[in-house]
Amino acid sequence: MLCRITACAAFVFLLLICSAAADEAAIPQPATAITTKSAPQPFGLDAKPIVGGTIVAKWSGVEAEIRAETEVLSQCRQGVWCPQAALRFLSIVDEGRSLTGRARVGVINRAVNLAIVPTSDWSQWGVADHWSTPLETFTTGRGDCEDYAIAKYVALRATGIAEDDVKLIVVSDIATAEDHVVVSVRLEDGWVILDNRWLTLVPDNQVWRVTPLFVLDDSGVRQFVNSAPVAKRQEIVPGTF
């Protein structure tokens, strides 16, 4: 389990009262990638490729499963039988594609957060760490931090956001002494962080008490170079989020 399952009462209340996206929502067509090059890498850090280790194996396995799921989504787009989990996921993609920029990223973040009930891997799968694909997560409706992040990553890419502009980021949460997975998206004014613990988009330079560890995307896994706790690298006002 990469992250502790925590949720405030207000967030749980929102999860209970917000219904899943309509199953009969329009199926989106393939989108043209939109990219922006105005900001450096997340947290202003360089990263070097790594080719071995547990996290590489985890990400490689999930990527293979995601590629297999594209066949299911392709059938949905062609009007062939489509499982309910795929319809729910594609309805979120479609909602995001109808918007642009920060609004697109915000609606994906909010919709995925509200579609999944925070649940530990021990509770759901009986193992310490299990990374789920979007359709697996949307089938059970449950997951922990990496499951939210993977679903957002795939949805954002499907809306047309370019590979260079969306990343999965593994950080060490200093407060909990646990690893945590978020998504980072590059907008015109810099990188923002999408977290399953809040609904707002937070600039990367306002995320504190974390140490960035790894960045994951379509090109593989890279390890941040000379990474240090964010609270020590820059002045961040406590209570920013």
Residue 97's domain spans which residues?
37-233
Q: Give the pLDDT confidence score for residue 90 in this predicted structure.
A: 97
Q: Which residue has the tokens 């405030």?
A: 8
- pLDDT at position 235 over 90: no
Q: Show the 3-state SS of the chain.
A: CCCCCCCCHHHHHHHHHCCCCCCCCCCCCCCCCECCCCCCCHHHCCEEEECCCHHHHHHHHHHHHHHHHHHHHHHHHCCCCCCHHHHHHHHHHHHHHCCCHHHHHHHHHHHHHHHCEECCHHHHHCCCCCCCCHHHHHHHCEECHHHHHHHHHHHHHHCCECHHHEEEEEEEECCCCEEEEEEEEEECCEEEEECCCCCCCEEHHHCCCEEEEEEEECCEEEEECCCCCHHHHCCCCCCCC
Average pLDDT over residues 202-211: 94
Q: Give the pLDDT confidence score for residue 107 in this predicted structure.
A: 98
Sign of CA dihedral 18, 19, 24, 29: positive
Q: Tell which residue, 220, 237, 218, 232, has the closest CA to residue 33.
A: 218
Q: Which of 15-24, 105-114, 165-174 has the lowest mean pLDDT?
A: 15-24
Domain total for the chain? Answer: 1
Domain membership flag for residue 163? yes
Task: Assign 127 a pLDDT band (cuts: 50, 70, 90).
Answer: very high
pTM of the model: 0.82
Domain membership flag for residue 127? yes
Q: Give the pLDDT confidence score for residue 41 in this predicted structure.
A: 86
The CATH number covering residue 77 comes to 3.10.620.30
Q: Give the pLDDT confidence score for residue 180 in this predicted structure.
A: 97
Domain membership flag for residue 22? no
Cβ contact 168:149 at 8 Å:
yes
Q: Do the strands 190-194 and 220-224 form a parallel or antiparallel pair, or are they unpaired?
A: unpaired
Q: Which of 42-46, 190-194, 237-241 has the lowest mean pLDDT?
A: 237-241
| Residues with Cβ within 8 Å of residue 46, at least 6 apart in sequence | 224, 225, 226
Task: Assign 39 a pLDDT band (cuts: 50, 70, 90).
Answer: low
Domain membership flag for residue 240? no
Domain membership flag for residue 176? yes
Average pLDDT over residues 170-181: 94
Average pLDDT over residues 170-191: 95
Question: Given phi > 0 = left and psi -120 to 50 = alpha, else beta, which region is 195?
Answer: beta
% of the chain with per-residue pLDDT over 70:
79
- pLDDT at position 67 over 80: yes
Q: Give the pLDDT confidence score for residue 189 in this predicted structure.
A: 84
**What is the C-alpha separation between 84 and 91, in angstroms, rounded?**
11
Rg over CA atoms, the chain: 17
Cβ contact 178:4 at 8 Å:
yes
Tens of pLDDT, residues 71-120: 999 999 999 899 999 999 999 999 999 999 999 999 999 999 999 999 99
Domain membership flag for residue 21? no
- pLDDT at position 36 over 80: no
Q: Give the pLDDT confidence score for residue 2 in this predicted structure.
A: 66
Task: Assign 230 a pLDDT band (cuts: 50, 70, 90).
Answer: low
Tens of pLDDT, residues 128-158: 999 999 999 999 999 999 999 999 999 999 9
